[in-house]
C-alpha cells in the first residue's frame, strides 16, 4: 500500500497562474484534509472532506478550492496563485472512528 501520495513534490508558479495539487490515498479512509505549513506557524487546515461529495472550509480557505468526487482523491486547486501561498502543503487522511491522521510527503510550492 502506498498510503497517502502527493504530486508534484516541488512546484514554482508565477503570480496569477493556476494549478492543482494532487492527493491520493489507498487506505479507504473517509476523511481527508489539506494543511499548509509555514515557519513558526505549525500546520493550518485549509479544507477538509468527510466523504465523497462533502467538503468544508478550515482555518485558511481563501484562495483555494477543493472537490471530492471519489474516496481516493482530494485535489487542491489554486485558481490565481499569490506569493502569500508560497508554503509546504500536506494532505492527510483518517478514518471516522479514529482521529489519527496519516500524512503525505508534502508539496513545496513557490509563487514568484
Partner 1 sequence: AQSVTQPDIHITVSEGASLELRCNYSYGATPYLFWYVQSPGQGLQLLLKYFSGDTLVQGIKGFEAEFKRSQSSFNLRKPSVHWSDAAEYFCAVGLYNQGGKLIFGQGTELSVKP
Identity of the residue, 77 or 108, whose beta carbon is nearer to partner 1 in the bound complex: 108
Q: Which stretch binds partner 1 (CB under 8 A): 16-24, 32-40, 62-70, 75-83?
A: 32-40
Instruction: Tell me the sheet residues that pair with 33.
Output: 48, 92
Among 60, 87, 106, 109, binds partner 1 (CB under 8 A): 106
Dump strand ranges (E) for the chain: 4-7, 10-13, 19-25, 31-37, 43-51, 54-57, 64-66, 76-78, 87-94, 102-103, 107-111
Size of the site for partner 1 (CB under 8 A): 26
Residues 52-71 that bind partner 1 (CB under 8 A): 56, 58
Question: Residues in the site for partner 1, rule: CB under 8 A?
Answer: 31, 33, 35, 40-45, 48, 50, 56, 58, 90, 92, 94, 96, 98-106
Amino acid at each position: 500500500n502506498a498510503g497517502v501520495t502527493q504530486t508534484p513534490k516541488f512546484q514554482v508558479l508565477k503570480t496569477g497562474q493556476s494549478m492543482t495539487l494532487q492527493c491520493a490515498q489507498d487506505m479507504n479512509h473517509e476523511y481527508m484534509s489539506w494543511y499548509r505549513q509555514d515557519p513558526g506557524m505549525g500546520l493550518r487546515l485549509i479544507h477538509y472532506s468527510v466523504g465523497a461529495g462533502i467538503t468544508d472550509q478550515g482555518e485558511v480557505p481563501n484562495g483555494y478550492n477543493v472537490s471530492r468526487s471519489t474516496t481516493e482523491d482530494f485535489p487542491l486547486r489554486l485558481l490565481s496563485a499569490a506569493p502569500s501561498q508560497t508554503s509546504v502543503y500536506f494532505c492527510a487522511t483518517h478514518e471516522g472512528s479514529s482521529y489519527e491522521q496519516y500524512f503525505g510527503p508534502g508539496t513545496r510550492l513557490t509563487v514568484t
